[in-house]
Amino acid sequence: MEETIKKNERIERTALVTGAGRGIGRAIAVRLAKDGFDVVINYHSNQQEAEATEALCHEANPDIKTLLVQGDVSDEADVQRMVEESTAAFPAIDVLVNNAGITRDNLMLRMTPEDFDAVLRSNLRSCFLMTKFVGRLMLKKRYGRIVNISSVVGLHGNAGQANYAASKAGIVGLTKSTALEYASRGITANAVAPGFIETRMTEVLSEEIKKQMMSRIPAGHFGHPEDIANAVSFLASEQSSYINGQVLSVDGGMQ
Ligand code: NAP
């Protein structure tokens, strides 16, 4: 009897994951569902992918609820609407994972200002907007976990990725500033910096680049989206309450 009561006692908490239709975002959404969170699944252009993520979340944990929200996370009106849709369905947003991101790689001399702006917009402005509008709810509730997906490229730079590296380094500054502004209200903000993870973002890279990358990874293999989801799961939990403004590299020891 006691066992049954414990099993049914799920603390209702909600996590919103951006860019959760595939890759790392999908793995994070599924992991947080497994952890017992209701999950808001943001997607941009592909509803089918998002529905597949939703199905995987329910498979991982039949007790949780999900909500699909379509929108461009770099657009202020879309962000406001998505937050409204989320709060109409759930009492709060306890965990925000800013995962959505794009690349537009090129050497600096060939990189267009348009490609520079597009990457900064999708990767960095999006984190600012989501943090601003979801952060308001967290401030009222005096609880929150914000996890931003940066990159090792934001810590070390990468030839051919000046725009991407700048956006991911910017996320580190944004994360640390958020941590300072929100710490007194029970909210933490941390970043995860993935190394080379096998997703659609990296499958387009040439074999030569992959070989170069592999030579820098002492673990001897590329990472999987679940490796990132494991780290996010901890930072999204109550156990991480005294960890704030940090950047956790998940990169197989990449040098
Ligand atoms: P991915 O497979 O390309 O997935 C990225 C997701 O973000 C897609 O679902 C995409 O949806 C969504 N997205 C992009 N712009 C968006 C916007 N403006 N609004 C809403 N959604 C948007 O990439 P991934 O490898 O899983 O990467 C996930 C995150 O990890 C990114 O921030 C990436 O920079 C970071 N990361 C990845 C690696 C790696 O090795 N894979 C390493 C370091 C960091 P649409 O296609 O519909 O726009």
pLDDT in tens, 58-92: 999 999 999 999 999 999 999 999 999 999 999 99
Q: How many angstroms separate the CA atoms of 125 and 131, rounded?
A: 10
CA-derived radius of gyration, the chain: 18
Q: What DSSP element (H or E) covers 234?
A: helix 225-235
Residue of the CA atom closest to atom 16 of ligand 1: 100
Cα 146 to middle of ligand 1, angstroms? 17
pLDDT above 60 (res 7): no
Our answer on whether the CB atom of 23 is closer than 6 Å to any ligand 1 atom is yes
Report the alpha-carbon distance of residue 252 to residue 255 in Å, rounded: 9
Query: Which pLDDT band holds residue 11 (cuts at 50, 70, 90)?
Result: confident
Measured from the CA of 201, which atom of ligand 1 is nearest?
Answer: 3
Q: Which residues contact 50 (CB under 8 A, 6 or more apart)?
A: 20, 21, 41, 43, 68, 70
Span 171-221, pLDDT tens digits = 999 999 999 999 999 999 999 999 999 999 999 998 998 999 999 999 999
* Separation of CA 118 and ligand 1 centre (Å): 13
The pair of structure tokens assigned to 154 is: 């934001």
| 21 C-beta closer than 6 A to ligand 1 | yes
Provide the whole-model pTM.
0.96
Structure confidence at residue 3 as a pLDDT band (50, 70, 90):
very low
Cα of 206 vs centre of ligand 1, distance in Å, is: 19
**Shortest CA distance to 91 belongs to which of 138, 126, 58, 129?**
138
Beta bridge pairs of residue 79: none
**Nearest in space to 141 (alpha carbons), one of 89, 97, 90, 190:** 90
From 152, 175, 201, 216, give the residue whose CB has the most ligand 1 atoms within 8 Å, as the site to mutate: 201
164 is catalytic: yes
- Tokens representing residue 142 in the block: 């005096």
